[in-house]
Amino acid sequence: MSTLAQTQPQSAGTDARWRRTVWLAILCAPIIIAAIALLVYQQTASADRLRAAVSASQERRALVLSVLSAHQDLETGQRGYLITGREDFLDPYHASMADLEAILSRMKHAFASQPEQLRLLALAEQASREKRKFSEGTVALHRAGDAVAARELVLSGRGKYLMDGLRGALGAMLEAEERHLGRISRQATDATTALRWLTLGLLGGLLFLLTAAAIALGRMLEQRQRMLATLEDTSQRRAAILNSAMDAILILNPSGTIESVNPAAVRMYGYDEDELLSRDAGMLFAEPPPIGRVAQLLRELNLMESEPGSLREIVGRRKSGETFPTDVAITRAPFAEGLRYVVVIRDITERKRIETMKAEFVSTVSHELRTPLTSIAGSLGLLAGGAAGELSDKVKRLITIAHSNADRLVRLINDILDVEKLESGKMSFDNRPIDLTSALQQALDENAGFARSYNVDLRFDRPEVAAHVLADSDRLAQVIANLLSNAIKFSPAGGCVSLTLAPGRRRHRITVSDQGPGIPEEFHTRIFEKFVQADSSDARAKGGTGLGLSIVREIVEQLGGSISFDSRPSEGTQFHVHLPALVEEETVERVRHSVLLCGPSTASPLLAALDATHDVHTAQTLPTAYQMLDSGPFDAVLVEFGSHAGDVAQIVRYVRRSTCNETTPILAFGEDAEGQLVTDPALVVDWLHKPLEVDTIGQRIDQTIQGDNGARPVILHVDDDPDILRVVAAAMSDKAQVVSAKSLAQARSAIDQERFDAVILDLTLSDGRGPELLAHLREKQGSVPIVVFSAEDADGANAGQFEDFLTKAKTPLRRLVDVVERHTKRQGAHE
């Protein structure tokens, strides 16, 4: 864990640096490559240019040389003619004469860009022309037959002079051309060299970049590898933790299906992994719930995100069928792939066994201690009591000390045993109705002697009205005796301890007040803990065990009550015990109400149970029922929803139309009740749910007959889902009578016929939206509280119109019941 946390940020930093390098390489490499390509292209182009320049230069040289060679041809032809006098020798002469002008004009063109050459060319041209003119002159003379003049003209050397001039100009041109070519080729070489270096440089850069990228990639891979290794190590560690855990660890998906298990789960439950995976977790319960129940449980847990769920004890079942106690902790785990539940299950068989052993040990030790203590305390008691004759004062004093301490030891052991019993739930409570006034008087009487010994006055303010509680009289006496003896012990001599009983409607309050020094502030939070005494030396002098108040609180709580105290230094202390009031049973003489039981299965335990307290008539068929209903009034009609669904509705209508039974309350019961109920909900007064509690049905009938609706508010539930209607009615059945309506139409007719204490409303119904009822509801029923129970989330617009807004998926049924009950009560308080 820690290694991962430390290395990750660091490696992430270097990783980014490597990554940058690679990206840089990827971006730069193509640019460099393009540059190199461009350079190579330029190099080629310049080579081409050079080649072209060289060939142009060679062409120009050839032209220069061709002028020379044309003149040589011309000279040769002229000489041949002069010597032989044959016209045919003049052929080259003529050809050259014809070519030369063309050659010279081509040369002008070829050397156009070189002014120096043009100048030389002009010289050459002039020389060439003069030479040709001279030659023409010579040839013309010879042709005229003056061979001597011609020969003399040749001998004059002018031809040679002209020829030399021409040769000189042409030679200079050749040299200039050579220099020109040299310059061009030097330039080309220089350019190529520069380009080559540039190319090499770029290639080097590219190489460097690629190397860097390669290194970076390598590092990155290495880092990844390391991270993977770390991750693997981490996951191996976690797997090792999971695999070596003693507790079974399961991962469930929201529908309660097991997705993964650890080896401990396999060991604990005895199933193979394959037998557990993809199965409903319900199979691990001692009593497997129906499929889907686990999912419902998970939803109802309402766990906060990632907050470990509270431990709960569940009895598990192994493959072998053996059941065993487990502690189960459930945690919501929002994984990437969706919500999961991590369930940690601990086999607590051993703990339970040890707890039992400990309890047995404590119990045995205490019992074993009691036996010798009995002898010791007994002997000392006899001595102190003077059974062995008069003792000297000193001996008597010592004996008294020994005796009171032996007594204290006995009390301590008794208290330890009590604590043990209370904690292990082995303390049995024989709860019966108790008249508190007389119980308190008795406790007071029993402590009178003790109070006298402390010179403390005991007072009891008897209330004017009787107060009854359901409690174990011995335990209650123990509580009061303990509080009284505490109060007495801490009272100043001549002080007064008063016991007050304040009867209440729901709870009675018993107060024990003393005028002692009060409980120091710092002990207020711990006063009910075991072995906590405000001043241990003081308490020891008072003979306390330090367990009394802890036992008192435990007993009071097990009696369904609570204990608290007020204490101010030097003003005394009041301990208040609140016990739930026992509502007086109706003791008025029981009238045997007449009941008509209609339905196919009238011979049942129900009939037997009712028969004892009610005057029961039965009708198994419709005609019998009609006949009975016509024969006289009944106090109640009980209709069973059986196989003949239509019959029930007919009976209900018949009752309402009959002359002697039109106001008789109808109670309906049955499994598939919603179909009938919603046809005319207002006609049925109460709806009993199967399984019927045979013992209480008589009571329910009587309550209905007496119109005891103060105790049972009537609630209208509007929802188009019959399952929701049924579930809510069942959940509320203890607290209220629920009239179910499946549509707006049914709800309207119910609103017209009956007054409701609260309305539970769904927003989406088959024939419209729930809020459409509002106007009608307000008109007929005033400010009846409305609780929305819908699949939709509250929206701001209409949320204000309702007392509460509960969303189906998010609200456990229990909460709905609480909310509705609260609003119903508030409504009652307003009226």
Residue 382 as a binder of another protein (CB under 8 A): the answer is: yes
Q: Residues in contact with another protein, total (CB under 8 A)?
A: 23
Residue 428 as a binder of another protein (CB under 8 A): the answer is: yes
In angstroms and rounded to an integer, the radius of gyration of the C-alpha atoms of the chain is 60
- Supply the minimum distance, in Å, between the C-beta of residue 559 and another protein: 15
- Supply the minimum distance, in Å, between the C-beta of residue 374 and another protein: 4
As a whole number of angstroms, the distance between CA 799 and CA 785 comes to: 13
Residue 768 as a binder of another protein (CB under 8 A): the answer is: no
Asked, as a colleague might, if the bond just before 520 is cis with ω within 30 of 0, I would say no
Residue 771 as a binder of another protein (CB under 8 A): the answer is: no
Residue 519 as a binder of another protein (CB under 8 A): the answer is: no
**653: Cα separation from own chain's centroid:** 53
As a whole number of angstroms, the distance between CA 484 and CA 479 comes to: 9
Residue 387 as a binder of another protein (CB under 8 A): the answer is: yes
Residue 425 as a binder of another protein (CB under 8 A): the answer is: no
77-85, 367-375, 436-444, 727-735 -> range binding another protein (CB under 8 A): 367-375
Residue 432 as a binder of another protein (CB under 8 A): the answer is: no
Residue 453 as a binder of another protein (CB under 8 A): the answer is: no
As a whole number of angstroms, the distance between CA 352 and CA 349 comes to: 5
- Supply the minimum distance, in Å, between the C-beta of residue 614 and another protein: 35
Q: Contacting another protein (CB under 8 A), which of 94, 279, 370, 540?
A: 370
**778: Cα separation from own chain's centroid:** 41
DSSP three-state, residue 820: helix
Q: Contacting another protein (CB under 8 A), which of 410, 470, 496, 532?
A: 410
**388: Cα separation from own chain's centroid:** 78
Q: Is the Cβ of residue 331 or residue 366 nearer to another protein in the bound state? A: 366
As a whole number of angstroms, the distance between CA 677 and CA 683 comes to: 8
165-173, 233-241, 369-377, 455-463 -> range binding another protein (CB under 8 A): 369-377
Residue 417 as a binder of another protein (CB under 8 A): the answer is: yes
- Supply the minimum distance, in Å, between the C-beta of residue 398 and another protein: 18
- Supply the minimum distance, in Å, between the C-beta of residue 370 and another protein: 4
The conformational region for residue 425 under phi > 0 = left, psi -120 to 50 = alpha, else beta, is left
Residue 433 as a binder of another protein (CB under 8 A): the answer is: no
Q: Which of 629, 627, 666, 628 is nearest to 648 (CA)?
A: 666
C-beta neighbour count of 464 within 10 angstroms = 6
| Strand ranges inside 351-435, DSSP E | 432-435
Q: Is the Cβ of residue 405 or residue 620 nearer to another protein in the bound state? A: 405
Structure tokens at 504: 């209440």
With a CB cutoff of 8 Å and minimum separation 6, the contacts of 537 are none
Residue 365 as a binder of another protein (CB under 8 A): the answer is: no
- Supply the minimum distance, in Å, between the C-beta of residue 369 and another protein: 9
Residue 445 as a binder of another protein (CB under 8 A): the answer is: no
- Supply the minimum distance, in Å, between the C-beta of residue 394 and another protein: 21
Answer for the pair 413, 373: CB distance below 8 angstroms, yes or no. Answer: yes
Q: Contacting another protein (CB under 8 A), which of 377, 399, 456, 610?
A: 377
Q: Is the Cβ of residue 124 or residue 417 nearer to another protein in the bound state? A: 417
Residue 371 as a binder of another protein (CB under 8 A): the answer is: yes
Q: Is the Cβ of residue 68 or residue 412 nearer to another protein in the bound state? A: 412
75-83, 102-110, 421-429, 753-761 -> range binding another protein (CB under 8 A): 421-429
Residue 242 as a binder of another protein (CB under 8 A): the answer is: no
The continuous run of DSSP H or E covering 66 comes out as helix 2-84
Tell whether the torsion through CA atoms of 165, 171, 172 and 174 is positive or negative: positive
With a CB cutoff of 8 Å and minimum separation 6, the contacts of 78 are 90, 93, 135, 138, 139
Q: Contacting another protein (CB under 8 A), which of 421, 509, 769, 825?
A: 421
Residue 361 as a binder of another protein (CB under 8 A): the answer is: no
With a CB cutoff of 8 Å and minimum separation 6, the contacts of 467 are 435, 436, 437, 501, 503, 508, 581
Tell whether the torsion through CA atoms of 606, 607, 613 and 619 is positive or negative: positive
- What are the CA-CA distances from residue 452 to residues 455, 542, 561, 786 (Å)? 5, 15, 30, 62
373-381, 562-570, 599-607, 699-707 -> range binding another protein (CB under 8 A): 373-381
Q: How far apart are the first and last CA of the chain?
A: 63
Which contacts (CB < 8 Å, 24+ apart) does range 222-229 have? 223/11, 223/14, 223/15, 223/18, 226/11, 227/8, 227/11
Q: Is the Cβ of residue 83 or residue 382 nearer to another protein in the bound state? A: 382
Structure tokens at 449: 């002697």
- Supply the minimum distance, in Å, between the C-beta of residue 663 and another protein: 51
63-71, 220-228, 366-374, 519-527 -> range binding another protein (CB under 8 A): 366-374
Pairing of strands 768-769, 764-765: antiparallel
Residue 374 as a binder of another protein (CB under 8 A): the answer is: yes
Q: Which of 361, 364, 423 is nearest to 550 (CA)?
A: 423
Residue 402 as a binder of another protein (CB under 8 A): the answer is: no
372-380, 512-520, 523-531, 755-763 -> range binding another protein (CB under 8 A): 372-380
Residues contributing to the site for another protein (CB under 8 A): 367, 370-375, 377-379, 381-382, 385, 387-388, 410, 417, 421, 426-428, 430, 474
